Structure formats: structure tokens, C-alpha cells
Amino acid sequence: MARRAVKPPAPFEVIPAIDLLGGRCVRLSQGRYEEATIYGEDPAAVAGDFARHPIARLHVVDLDGAKAGRPINGEAVRGILARAAGVPVQLGGGVRSLDAVEEALAWGLDRVILGTVALRDPELVRTASQRHPGRIVVGIDAKEGHVAVEGWLETSETRAVELAPRFEAAGVGAIVYTDIARDGMLSGPNLDATAELADAVSIPVIVSGGVASEDDLVRAAALRDRGITGAIVGRALYTGAVELGSVLERVACC
């Protein structure tokens, strides 16, 4: 499918990720909860460290909420917001009703990510987007190209590249595309699949999963004209494989 004409690419966003499990900052490998690595007992302090850099936003995932089907780590999220120094924060994980959307935005979040309900209840996504234009993000997580839901515990028959265009006219702010096989593995993001999805829509697409180096982010930034407007990076920041200040300078020059 040919991608619709869009305005010139905006500056590429490098988006640090904070995943919450039991109130702690963790990273998973390929979405496996039993393989969580704890990187911080105080997610708010982690957010404060990231916010000292000129980042466009923070990406926060409530992993407990993704499994439970409702937000669980609200206290930790509010702590992150308090320490983020005005940096916009987007939240995903367990937000599956309009009431949950309204509550999360009332905390002061910039955007809310809807994942499972994008497949199960697309009308909810459209309604939320109409109420809050540009503040609803669709999260599409895929295993071998097929959409995974319920905290990545179930895989559907629907292909990611088929789901994304359903929200073309909904008014969503962005699509976050995650290749689960790459997530937390430091094996490089799946830029080919992400670009294929971005080609199918005019909605900005953010790549997630597998960033291992600054070069990965530079390669992603080079695809801005295909509609890839940002990349989420997690484990590579925590291990030191990516230095945030350095990579922000590099992608600014792309």
C-alpha cells in the first residue's frame, strides 16, 4: 500500500523507556516476565536522570497492568511525572477502558497507549482519540508479524500491517510498533518491518524493541522520510551501550 503524502519529517525522537514491575524499573527479554532484570528501585529517580537531557518524551509501561488488564503502578507513574521536569510522558499497559484513559490523562500524562483494545475494541480507540486528539497512541506488538495482546501472552491471527491502517482516520497521535522477538535482546530493531508498517499509514510510527547501539538509532532516524519518527530505547541505556547525550547529538545531525 502506498503511503499517503505527509508534511516534512519532524525531528527524530529518541525516547527512553521505563518499564514498571512491582513498582521497580525493570527490563524484560522478549516479554518474558520471569526474566525481568531490575535496573532501579526508584523509577522516579531514573526519570529524573533521563529528564536532564533534551529528550522529547519518556515512554513508561505498566507491566503489571498489562497482565491484569488495568493500571497497577499508578503511584510509580505519578512519581515519574513529578520528577520528569516537564518532559512529556506516555504510558501503556492495562489501559483498556475510557475511564482508565481519562484517569491516566488526569494524572498529567501527555499520551496514553492503547494496545490490546486496539485489536479487541477499535471503536474505543476511535472514541478516545476523538475526545483527546493526538493524545492516544496505538501500540502494536508483533510476534513474527502477528499482533500479540494481553501483555504479549496471546498472539492473534491479525497481521500488524493490517491493523495499523484501521486507525488512519481516527486521530491517533502515533503508532508504537514493537517486534517482541527483538525486545530486550540488544539484537537491533526490526527496521524493515517497521518501515513496511509506516509505509501503510500516514500516522507517525515509533520503532521499539532491540535497540543495541547508537548506530541503530542513527539508522532508524535515517528512515524519517518513510514515517518513522522516533525510537524507544530501554536496556541499551541501562547497560551503557547507548549514551543518551551522545546519541541525541548524533540523530540531530541526520
What's the pLDDT score for residue 189?
Answer: 94
Does 174 have pLDDT greater than 90?
A: yes
Q: 63, 151 in Cβ contact below 8 A? A: yes
Taking the C-alpha atoms of residue 136 and residue 112, their distance in angstroms, rounded to an integer, is 5
Q: What is the pLDDT of residue 2?
A: 46
Please state, in angstroms and rounded to a whole number, the distance separating the CA atoms of residues 95 and 114: 6
pLDDT at 130: 96
pLDDT, residue 152, reads: 54
Average pLDDT score over residue span 34-45: 92
73 vs 187 pLDDT, higher one: 73
Point out the least confidently predicted range of 31-35, 86-90, 160-164, 205-209: 31-35
Rounded mean pLDDT of 46-67?
96
Is there a contact between 50 and 16 (Cβ–Cβ < 8 Å)? yes
From first CA to last CA, the distance across the chain in angstroms is 27
Please tell me the predicted confidence (pLDDT) of residue 144: 78
Global pTM value: 0.91
* Mean of all residue pLDDT scores within the chain: 90
Catalytic residues: 19, 141
Comparing C-alpha atoms, which of 32, 7, 247, 53 is closest to residue 231?
247
